[in-house]
Amino acid sequence: MSIELRHISKRFGDITAVRNISFTVGEGELVGLLGPSGGGKTTVLRMIAGLETPTEGDLFVRGRRMNDVPVQTRNIGFVFQGYALFKTMTVFDNIAFGLRIQKQQPADIAARVEELAKTLGLEGLERRFPHQLSGGQRQRVAIARALAPKPNVLLLDEPFGAVDAKIRQELREWLVQLHDELNITTVFVTHDQEEAMEVSNRILIFSRGNLEQLGSPREVYEQPRNEFVARFIGVMNVLEMTVSGGIARLGGLSFPAHGHSEGQTLRIGFRPYAVQVSKSPNEYRHQAILKHTYFLGIMLRLELETPDGLVVRARMSKEDYARLKLEDGMSVSFQIREYRVLAREGEILTPEVSLSQPTVLGEGI
């Protein structure tokens, strides 16, 4: 096990930033900490680095308890969100900084810097100052600087936060590649679920200081443990319904709700891909007007409004849309194939219930 957290909590004064978190990261894994701002993920990262001290719990790196080891001797590579390059130093001096602290021979330093510059595509930029580099280059310098002393673990705080959308995509692929090449245990923080899904072997989802779920990208998408995860990963329709006579109802929509007491409020969630739409107003159970169609690339999102004024989001491929000859303002019918009763944040979800024949869709996020 490369990194292990056991019952770690962190409080700043009265506020608990991280609450009783335990997880392990295997050697060579690439793990993403995902969650909304203020969820505690950056604090976790900073605790692993030694920039914060846990209030409670134990932290191990390669089997050694790290709580009282100062940041300087932890041998951790940290890439800061704003890169935190030393702007008075050249690219070379930035990368060489950690090696000089270790009092390595100048020849060894030069060799190591050259090697990293090559790996990271920074050749020829060694004598430049940070302000003479592009955003992407600066980030690579920050990564090279963190990697130079051969750290046990590489930690990245919002690594793609500060670059524009176009380069971000490239950088993601590049990070995966770099990780494959170096095979270094890597933990990164992001608030972007798409980024976390694409890059990580495993995702840890944080909310308000709690670790909500941990699993592969597919697991957290297909089996979200609770409403928070379900909403945070991908899009979900959420309806708050009241149970009467074993059926949860909201307007014309109803779901079987056996085992729930009369008058109870339930939250029902279903993914847009689980909504099946037909041009014929009577083919499916529910009637609606197609209010608006959003083009999202190869997929389209349809916004349906029921006669009671509920808005339901559906998803459809371009081909299906063209085949059905749908247009905004049309009367349509729809059915919901799969749904789940949502547990509150911090609670466990019930498994998904299929209404009709479950169809496995190979849809991405």
Q: Residues 47 to 66: which contact other proteins by CB under 8 A? A: 49-53
Encoding tokens for residue 133? 């580099």
For other proteins, the closer of residues 195 and 338 by Cβ is 195
Interface with other proteins, residue 114, by CB under 8 A: no
Q: Is 57 left (phi over 0), alpha (psi -120 to 50) or beta?
A: left
Interface with other proteins, residue 74, by CB under 8 A: yes
Pairing of strands 331-336, 286-295: antiparallel
Interface with other proteins, residue 365, by CB under 8 A: yes
Nearest distance from C-beta of residue 282 to other proteins, angstroms: 24
Please give the residues from 76 up to 105 whose contact with other proteins meets the rule CB under 8 A.
Answer: 76-78, 80-82, 84-89, 97-98, 101-102
Lookup result for tokens 């990564």: 143
Q: Which helix (H) or strand (E) holds 123?
A: none
Q: Is 95 left (phi over 0), alpha (psi -120 to 50) or beta?
A: alpha
Distance (Å, whole) CA 201 – CA 214: 11
Distance (Å, whole) CA 226 – CA 345: 6
Please give the residues from 231 up to 290 whose contact with other proteins meets the rule CB under 8 A.
Answer: 231-232, 234-236, 238-240, 242, 250-251, 267
What residues are paired with 3 via a beta bridge?
A: 25, 61
Nearest distance from C-beta of residue 73 to other proteins, angstroms: 7
Nearest residue to 224 via CA among 59, 365, 82, 130: 365
Q: How far is CA 254 from CA 260, 272, 310, in A?
A: 14, 17, 13
What residues are paired with 198 via a beta bridge?
A: none
Interface with other proteins, residue 73, by CB under 8 A: yes
Interface with other proteins, residue 149, by CB under 8 A: yes
Nearest distance from C-beta of residue 72 to other proteins, angstroms: 5
Nearest distance from C-beta of residue 228 to other proteins, angstroms: 10
Contact 207, 39 (CB under 8 A): yes
SS3 label, residue 294: strand
Nearest distance from C-beta of residue 239 to other proteins, angstroms: 6
For other proteins, the closer of residues 136 and 234 by Cβ is 234
- Binds other proteins (CB under 8 A): choice among 32, 130, 159, 224: 130
Interface with other proteins, residue 212, by CB under 8 A: no
For other proteins, the closer of residues 84 and 361 by Cβ is 84
Please give the residues from 285 up to 344 whose contact with other proteins meets the rule CB under 8 A.
Answer: 296, 301, 308-311, 313
DSSP annotation of 258 reads: T
Lookup result for tokens 């959308």: 165
Mask: binding to other proteins, 218-237, rule CB under 8 A, as x and -? -------------xx-xxx-
Please give the residues from 28 up to 47 whose contact with other proteins meets the rule CB under 8 A.
Answer: 36-39, 41-43
- Please give the size of the binding site for other proteins, defined by CB under 8 A: 71
Nearest distance from C-beta of residue 79 to other proteins, angstroms: 9
Helices (H), the chain: 41-49, 91-101, 106-119, 135-147, 165-182, 193-199, 217-222, 227-232, 318-324
Contact 93, 141 (CB under 8 A): no
- Binds other proteins (CB under 8 A): choice among 20, 56, 71, 289: 71
- Binds other proteins (CB under 8 A): choice among 145, 202, 271, 337: 145
Nearest distance from C-beta of residue 41 to other proteins, angstroms: 7
